[in-house]
Amino acid sequence: ANVIDDLLVYRRDKQKFLVVVNASNDEKDWDWLNKVRNGEVRVDNQRPWTLAFGRNVILRNLRDRAAGDDMRVDIAIQGPRSRDILLKLDSSLTDQEAIKALAWAQLCEVSLDGIDLIVSRTGYTGERMGFELFVHPDKAVAMWNALLEKGESLGLKPCGLGARDSLRTEAGLPLYGHEMGGMLNLGVGQAGFGNFIKTYKPWFIGRQAFLDQEEKRDGEVIRFTFDEKRTRMAHLGDPIVDERGKVIGTVTSCAINSEGSLTGQAYVGEKYTKEGTALYIYQGAPEQAGKAPAELTKGDRVTLPARATVITRFPK
């Protein structure tokens, strides 16, 4: 039940799917899918001889030049005006209607400014109106420039992963390596997304391991905000204590929110997940211990935790 990656699977046709992975996990995901298909890894600890479904599936890596015209890279355009910007690009009436008709997580295949695209109404910013454009890498620069040109009057600005990370943190969305997997090796249930695992299904890879993990789970990822604006940024791995100094959890993410405060996520014990609970966070905790209290003298400095408060996991 360990998390290999957090990704999206789109159904393009009855027997055709598009899997969009984290770029940093591309090789690992590709290796895992191939080994599962070929029966080279164990997929059931209770029945080691078990083989997964889909042994005859055809896997294609669309980041590989061997994919030819089907190669794809991802450009995300997010925000309440994102659809208006897409519709300003040259396209047929049919393609415009297809984009307008997209519900959350649906996709369509269109041509914008003469460039063939797969367009999905998705994103990782917490914004309900947003799109991801899957474009051939040779056409990516042209598409990027067209978006900036047509979107300038509507306030479109280029942003990097830092901006994405602050938005997804404020929205309470998990990221592989932070709220799932990573140094804490957090599972889906610990990340707060156990309801997405359909345990009524008789079998899938990791089903029993997930059930065992959930039975022993004693904590969950929460969202918090620091009580004061003028405080330091917290980072992955920073320890959290309660009002009595007991270590109760660990910071997983932190970023500046839209109001200028620091908002983050953390894995804490079940007892401390309730909204309004006070947390005390040692931001940037040093690896080396300082002086013992009995050795302190006038003028010495000691690290004190900053107070934060548990807020709703997702913005209301």
Q: Give the residue ranges of the annotated binding site for substrate.
A: 132
Token pair 């797969």 is at which residue?
118
Q: Which one, of 200, 213, 212, 206, lies nearest residue 44 by Cα?
A: 206
Closest among 144, 139, 145, 133 to 95, alpha carbons compared: 133
Annotate the chain with three-state secondary structure.
CCCCCCCEEEEEECCEEEEECCHHHHHHHHHHHHHHHCCCCCCCCCCCCCCCCCCCCCCCCCCCHHHHHHCCEEEEEECCCHHHHHHHCCCCHHHHHHHHHCCCCCEEEEEECCEEEEEECCCCCCCCCEEEEEECHHHHHHHHHHHHHHHHHHCCCCCCHHHHHHHHHHCCCCCECCCEEHHHCECCCCCCCHHHCCCCCCCCCCHHHHHHHHHHCCEEEEEEEECCCCCCCCCCCCEEECCCCCEEEEEEEEEECCCCCEEEEEEEEHHHCCCCCEEEECCCCCCCCCCCHHHCCCCCCCCCCEEEEEECCCCC
Report residue 295 as tokens: 């050795």
Strand partners, 76: 132
What's the rounded Cα separation, in Å, for the pair 187 and 181?
A: 6
For the annotated binding site, the residues are: 132
